[in-house]
Structures are given as C-alpha cells and as structure tokens.
Amino acid sequence: MERVALIALFAFVMAGFLGAQNLAQYTNQPVYDKKVTIAADGTIIPDAHRFGTTVLKSSKLHKTPWWNKETEWIGNIFIDWGYIWAVDTNGLADEAIDGFLFNYSTNDMTDDGVTFGILFWDQATGWNDNLKVQEWGVAFSGLPNHRNNPPTWYSSGWTVTFDLAIEPFSAMFLLDKGNKNTNINDGIEYGLWNLSTDFISPNPAVPACWGFRMSKPDGTASDANFAQNEDDFDIYDVDFNYLGTYWFGGYSPGGAPAANLVWELYAGGPATNTKYGPLAGLKGNDAQLYSVGDWATGGNVHMMMRLNQNTRVPWLCGTIKTDVHYYGGAIDLTRIFPIPVPWRKTMDPFLIAGSNYADFATYDFINMGAAFGTKSIFWQGVITNKFSGGNAAGSDASNNYVKTN
C-alpha cells in the first residue's frame, strides 16, 4: 500500500506588513483532476472519502483557472480564512476536527512526489492578523504529482482528504466557531505551504509549475457563504515575512476567479454512549471539554479541553457521584466532583513543534477496561495549579461535563 510520510508538525510565526495588492497569476491550461484520501498513518486510499460532518466548506472548483507560479515560489505559504458558523455539531464553543480536505496542482514529474505543509489557526481574521492561535500543522511528503498521469494534460490537480478519525484519534484538534457578522475575531485560517525542494517539468518547452485550484461562488450565494471567506488570500515567504493580501481584481461569473483556496473541515464526536452536560449553571467556568471514540470494553477515547490560553496545569477529573460547588473570589469556578477528587489525571497540552503548543490539552483512554463501559461517569476538565501544590487563584474549569452511559 502506497504511503505518504507525515514529516513533522510545524509552528509558524508571523512578521511584517504590506497592503493589499492586485494579482493576476492564473491560467486556463487544462488540469487533470484526481482525488485521494490519506489516513492518519499515511496510507493512501484511492478516491476521496468523507469523515464526520462538514462544518466549513470552500470547495466548489472554479471551472478552469488555477493559481500558478513557477518554482521560484517554492517555500511560500498561502493562507485563506473563513468561519465555522453554518453547522453546530455539539452545542459547544469549538468543533472537534476529525478530517479536512485540501487541493494543489502541479506538473512535477519527480519520482518522490511533492511536499506540502498544512496549517490551521483559530481566533483569526486574515490580513496578516498577528493575534491568531495556531492549533495544528503537519508536512506531507510523497504526495502524488503529475507522474503517471496523461501527458496531454498540462498538470494534475489533486484534491486530498486527510482522515483524522482513526484510533486512537490523537491527531484530532479543536477549532473555534465564530461568525464574521457577530464576532470577527473567531475566524479560522488554513495555510498551504509548498515545501518541495525540486520540480521536474514534463518537457523543456513547459515550465515546471505548481499552484492550487480555487473555489468559486455559485452566483450570489456560494460555498464562500458556507465558509464566510473573503475574495482574497495572504501570502508569506519562506522566512514567514508577509508579502501581501492578494486577489484577482474581484470575482465575476465567467471572468476573474474568486481568490479562495479549496478546503473543507469535518468534525466528529462526542464519543459513543456519551452526553455533554448543560453549559448553564457552572458559574465562572470558561473552558470546554470534548470527547471522541468509544467507551466500550477495549475501545479508545480521546479527550480534549480548550485552555483559552490559561497556562496552568490541565487536569481531567472523574466521579460517579457529583458534588457541585462554586468557589468565588479570585478562583471563580464551579466543580462537579467531591473533594478529595475520586479520579484525576494531568492532561497533555497539544504540542505543535519545539516548545509551541496549541490552545488545548488532551488525555487518552487506550484499550478501555470493562468498568468504563458499564458505569455512568461524570468527567470535568480543570485548569489549576492547586492539585500540584500551587495557588488556586486564576484557575478555570470546563463549563460542560462529559457523561458516559
């Protein structure tokens, strides 16, 4: 079975600023479109398969034009943005992302394929915003190129679905919901980063090139409305310097394409035999707790808690009997478990790269014992230094609970 190598997670830091510019780098050369699915272990599966519920969609292919630059643009990052607003799968502040779709085009003929980095941020607005929070990033090496496809086509356009819904679900991540009409700072950004080091053209008369298909509006309504994305995208160079925000002069049906990349986000959860408790009534709590997987004997469950950039120690606490209590003052949170805590474990902040962490923490139950599948257990996330001997001031807890059975 052919595989793609998942090289490493990437952290990304912004720098610099330039104004918006007009850009007309698109071509009507024919693109041979194909689809492929990549599992979380790197296995390539022919044809695209869906995962979870579509919560952001910007994927209606523009008929012919695609953004095209030759090899001097290797290393650049192209960023599109939108909002998770049209679909709500869980009633909480975030979606648990269990898959995504992206697209690229190339006429490269090398034996080892092409390499792209895929990155996601939330709390984003585009236009070189510097307050965004990176939540995920990975590089794919050995992605399919133009090799072995019909030589009569100018290039191959690949639409790739990446499946994160594979046990133990540890590659899943959180992205926050938002609406640019009510809360512009809760957007999502998607970055396509060309990390290939060489391209080989099909013949000397044709330049080596790469790019991506663009998603088009459908009249006045559009996939862009589903994603609430704008008619523009940001470009950064290999050193993460902002080069500008670009468009093609404004979308017009049959004319210039919309400046939107092709991407989708899918969400899953909660875990089977699981309910999310009510958000109301847990005074002072701002964090959120999520679950995916199966509580059955032998199953795996992946828990994720939104940290809201609180740097205290994240904990997962469990109890069979609840004891709701509010702590006022500088603590300002409500717990649902008795003291001493019947069960608690530290959660791991999600590592992106080096010392850079996403804004959520995780805990994994692997090969579940029989007790978890037969008892009703209440789970709550807590962010505090109190359990490790520190001060309780500034602590937080999830304003929902996860209940099994």
Distances (CA, A) of 361 to 102, 270, 367: 26, 16, 20
Q: What is the pLDDT of residue 14?
A: 47
DSSP conformation class of 241: B
The mean pLDDT value of the chain amounts to: 83
Is 262 in contact with 104 (CB distance < 8 Å)? no
Q: What is the pLDDT of residue 239?
A: 83
Q: For residue 290, is pLDDT > 50?
A: yes
Q: What is the pLDDT of residue 229?
A: 85
Tell me the per-residue pLDDT of 120-146, one tens digit each, with 9 for 90 and over. 999 999 999 988 999 999 888 888 888
Q: Kindly list the domain boundaries of the chain, sorted by start residue.
A: 5-267, 274-404
The number of angstroms, rounded, from the C-alpha of 365 to the middle of its chain's C-alpha atoms is: 23
**Residue in 116, 114, 108, 115 with CA at minimum distance from that of residue 147:** 108
Average pLDDT over residues 115-124: 92
Tell me the per-residue pLDDT of 339-356, one tens digit each, with 9 for 90 and over. 999 999 999 999 988 778
Helix (H) or strand (E) holding 312: none
Helix (H) or strand (E) holding 309: none
- Pick the range with the lowest mean pLDDT from 128-142, 145-159, 204-218, 385-399: 204-218
Question: Which residue in the block uniquely carries the two structure tokens 């003291």?
Answer: 339
Q: Which CATH architecture has domain 274-404?
A: Sandwich (2.60)
- Pick the range with the lowest mean pLDDT from 25-29, 264-268, 312-316, 375-379: 25-29
Q: What is the pLDDT of residue 17?
A: 40
49-63, 273-287, 312-326, range with greatest mean pLDDT: 312-326
Model pTM score: 0.90
How many CB atoms are located within 10 Å of the residue 37 CB?
20
Q: What is the pLDDT of residue 16?
A: 41
Tell me the per-residue pLDDT of 164-181, one tens digit each, with 9 for 90 and over. 887 778 889 999 998 877
Q: For residue 20, is pLDDT > 60?
A: no
Average pLDDT over residues 95-121: 91
Distances (CA, A) of 21 to 157, 184, 246: 26, 22, 5
- List % helix, strand, coil for the chain (3-state, nearest 5): 5, 50, 45
